[in-house]
Amino acid sequence: MPGASQPTPLADIDEWLRLGLLDSYCRWAGGTARTCLHAPDPRRPQPVWSAAWKPGLIVCTACLALLRLRGEADRRCDCCGRVCAGIEHNDGIYTMTVWLGALAYQAGACKDCRPGFDRAAQ
pLDDT in tens, 49-79: 999 999 999 999 999 999 998 888 899 999 9
Name the more confident of 1 and 60: 60
Residues near 67 by beta carbon (within 8 Å), at least 6 away in sequence? 49, 50, 51, 53, 54, 57, 59, 106
Closest CA to 92 of 64, 68, 70, 114: 114
pLDDT score of 9: 76
pLDDT in tens, 3-42: 566 677 777 889 999 999 999 999 999 999 999 999 999 9
Cβ–Cβ under 8 Å, residues 89 and 121: no
Whole-structure pTM value: 0.85
